[in-house]
Amino acid sequence: MAIRRHHLIEEAKAELDLAYEEVKRAEHAVMELEFEYNERLRDIPQSSPDQATLIAEKEQKQEAHTLDALYEMQNETAQRFALVSAAFAIVSSVPDEDMSLDLIKRILFRRDFLRRNKMEVDKHIRGFHRGLRDYMRKESSPESDSKVRESWTEIERMTALQAKDAKAA
């Protein structure tokens, strides 16, 4: 029995791992700066203008590591991995196709967005579902993997559109 690899999940997990490592690296660098500048500040009197200058320099260097942006990137990659994993779990564990499709739609889309985009959402969810079922049960070829990836790309495009609509509202 061949082990079927799910490249989309592996890719999402690799992105999450890279984001985590980048955050960890930046946090470590910020902490090193904190330690370094605290050591330097210890020898400067509190009311000295040199202390304010040194603190501003430290904060500027720390901000250059863009931790907020890195945390946001890590959050986005974690969400992507969770959604891909959930969709794969549903397809592989829910035998009833209609129930499976409904569950995937419910975790990915809000009702108001689904009502406005029902046909397109249904098309891409069904394509993903059928492609993944074929990939899992029939043929784990590069072509079937590509079909799953293409369908998921369209689903992600629609979830991004949904997010943009939510921000505009």
Q: What is the pLDDT of residues 117-153, one digit of tens each?
A: 999 999 999 999 999 988 888 777 777 788 889 999 9
**H or E element: which one contains 89?**
helix 67-93
Q: Is the pLDDT of residue 155 over 50?
A: yes
Of the pLDDT bands very low, low, confident and very high (cuts 50, 70, 90), residue 1 is very low
According to the model, what pLDDT value does residue 96 have?
Answer: 95
3-class secondary-structure state, position 95: coil
pLDDT digits (tens, 9 = 90+) for 62-81: 999 999 999 999 999 999 99
Contact 9, 84 (CB under 8 A): yes
According to the model, what pLDDT value does residue 4 have?
Answer: 53
* Cα four-point dihedral sign 52, 55, 61, 66: negative
According to the model, what pLDDT value does residue 161 have?
Answer: 92
Report yes or no on whether pTM surpasses 0.85: no
Mean pLDDT of all residues in 29-39: 92
The mean of the pLDDT values for the chain is: 90
